[in-house]
Structures are given as structure tokens and as C-alpha cells.
Structure 1
Amino acid sequence: MNTCAWIVFLDESGVSLLPQIRRTYAPRGRTPLLRHRLNWKRASMAAALGYHATDPERGPRLCFHLKPGSYNTTALIEVLNELKAFYREEPVVLVWDGLSAHRSRAMRAWAAEQDWLTLERLPAHAPELNPVELLWSSLKNRELANLAGSHLADVAYATEQGIHRINANPRLPWSFLTHTGLTIRPPTSQN
């Protein structure tokens, strides 16, 4: 593993036009109502949250992708090509879960040709080790909470606003990492 690489956690999540119902406040006696069309249109989002392994002053960096439908191997390879450009072809150690598209033959063949990329898997059934899970929680509990959009564009707009909010506060991505119990510290010199 390259010691001057970005350590990047990647995860996917889905959103739909069905509202993420959350507790809210309202004047006494006026229970809020969410009115929406029962619509199953879905979009998928992928986020890559990176921390520099040897220079914490360079990070964190958040790369985000949103698309209608769901991710498959081909779509994830497109996301990884965007990630390559986002990190300017610097070495990346990508940490992700065991989704079948992450383990597919086509993904393994593509990754084997990438000299900038090292793939690592999270342990099975351990989403609490992925800081991107906390990013999803932040979006779904704030920007997407009780959102009764008419079109996927409404959900996309709210999601992008949440990504801007998270990017505007560099302490927030660090808090996601801290909450996992994982740490990234520069190596100490051995003099």
C-alpha cells in the first residue's frame, strides 16, 4: 500500500420521491401533513470521502455522483473514472463494501489495469466503519427529511444543497471519520 495515497471511502445509496419521514415541530394542534404522489421513481447516489494518508492538511475531499436508476459495474467504473480525475491521478486506496458490482469480474479486470488505484474491502456487515454512511444520514435527516418532491430533480437539488453544506464545513467530514472510530495520522519519523 502506498503511504502517500488518499484513503477514500466510497458508498452508494438510493433516494426516491417517497419522503424520508422525520419528526418535526409544528404549532400545537396543527399536525403537519406530507402530501405526495405515491411514486417509486428512484435515483442513486455515490459519494467518495477521501482523507490524505500523510498530510491531513490536504483533506478531506468529497466527490459526489447522482444518477437515475441504480448502479451496476459499468456505472461504477464511470464513477471511478471521475474519481481518478477528481484526485488528479494521485494514488488512491479505495475502501468499500462487498456489493456484487464491487466484486464483479469486470470490475476486478478494470481495477487491475489502474496503477493509481488499490482496492480494499470493509469487513462484511460493518457499515459503521464507513464514514460515508454518516454522510447519507446527515443528508437524509436534514435536506431530504420530509421532502415531498414532485420530480427527481427536486430530490437532486436538495441532495446537492446538502453536499454543498457538508463541503462548506471541513470539520463535518472529519467528524464522520471520528464517529467510525478510525483515525488517520501522519507517520512519525523514526530517528
Structure 2
Amino acid sequence: MAAGGNTAAALDAWVVFEDEAGMSMTPPTSRTWAPRGRTPVIRVRAGSRRQLSVAALACYKPGERSRLIHRPRLDKAGGCHSFAWTDYRDLLTAAHHQLDGPIVLVWDNLPCATRRYGIEWG
């Protein structure tokens, strides 16, 4: 229960969990097995250092179908490898319009939020 006795149910709000994940588009190098005398050749496309980042919102509300709202971001070599606070702002705005109701947001220690809003976590 939040301060003042308000809960997500009392507010008739969606409980929304946010998280981000990043994946490298470069295949990993590893060892493999081959019969003696037959060296395996694994072809890897060189020069691709792209990364795919995905921010997602898992949305829950009693009596409603759960929803997953996500935004992918493909980063090129040397670019920013994570979402900026403006990307999260746009994602939350889209979620608010799609869910058509208030949102109680639960997120981890998101670096862009702490830098942008000056939030201190205890």
C-alpha cells in the first residue's frame, strides 16, 4: 500500500513492470569438434557490430487481459547502446494511450531515469 492508503486497485490502475534487454548481433566465437584432419570452417560476417535493444512493459490489471508493449531499437557501430529518457517517455506515453487508464509503474534502477530526474534510491 502506498502512502495515503492508495493502491493500484483503488485507483483502478494498470500495474506496469518495465525492463530493457540488449542483444549483440555479432555471433559468438567458440570451439567446435571435427574429425582429425578435417578442420571445420565457420563463416562469420565481419564488420557487423550492431546491437539490438528492446524495452518492454508487462501490463496487468484485474479483470483485464495482460498486455506486453515493447519497442525495439537497432543500434549501429559506435552509436548509443541503450534507450534515452526520451525513448522511455515516448514508450510510456504510447502505453498510457493504449491502456486507456492510469498506470502504476514499477521499474528497476534505470540509469537514464536517475540522471534525468535526479532520483535517489535508498
TM range (shorter): 0.5 to 0.7
Instruction: Give the structure-1-normalised TM-score.
Output: 0.43
Counterpart-to-counterpart distance in 2, 1:72 and 1:103: 12
Contact in 1 for aligned 2:8/2:15 (Cα 8 Å): no
Q: Which residue among 50, 65, 73 is the counterpart of 1:67? A: 73
1:39-62 deviation digits (Å, cap 9, x = unpaired): 21112111111111xx2x412111
Give the residue type in structure 2 aligned to 1:47.
Answer: A
Which structure: greater helix fraction? 1
**Which aligned pairs between 1:1-191 and structure 2 lie closer than 5 A?**
1-3=7-9, 4-19=12-27, 35-38=43-46, 39-52=48-61, 55=62, 57-69=63-75, 70-88=82-100, 90-106=101-117
TM-score (norm 2): 0.64
Secondary structure at the counterpart of residue 15 of structure 1: strand
When Rg is computed on C-alpha atoms for both structures, the one with the higher figure is 2
The count of residues paired between Structure 1 and Structure 2 equals 97
Identity among equivalent pairs (%): 30
AA partner of residue 83 (structure 2): Y
> What are the Cα deviations for residues 79-118 of structure 1, in whole angstroms up to 9, with x where unaligned?
1111112212x0111111102112233487xxxxxxxxxx
Runs of 4+ in 1 over 4 A off after TM superposition: none
Asked if structure 2 preserves the Cα contact closer than 8 Å seen for 1:73 and 1:107, the reply is no
User: Which 5+ residue runs of structure 2 have no aligned equivalent?
Assistant: 1-6, 30-34, 76-81
Counterparts of 1:20 and 1:50, CA distance in 2:
33
Q: Which has the higher strand share?
A: 2
Give the partner amino acid of 2:74: P
Distance 1:93 1:37, change over 3 A: same
- Rounded to whole Å, the distance in 2 between the matches of 1:93 and 1:33 is 52
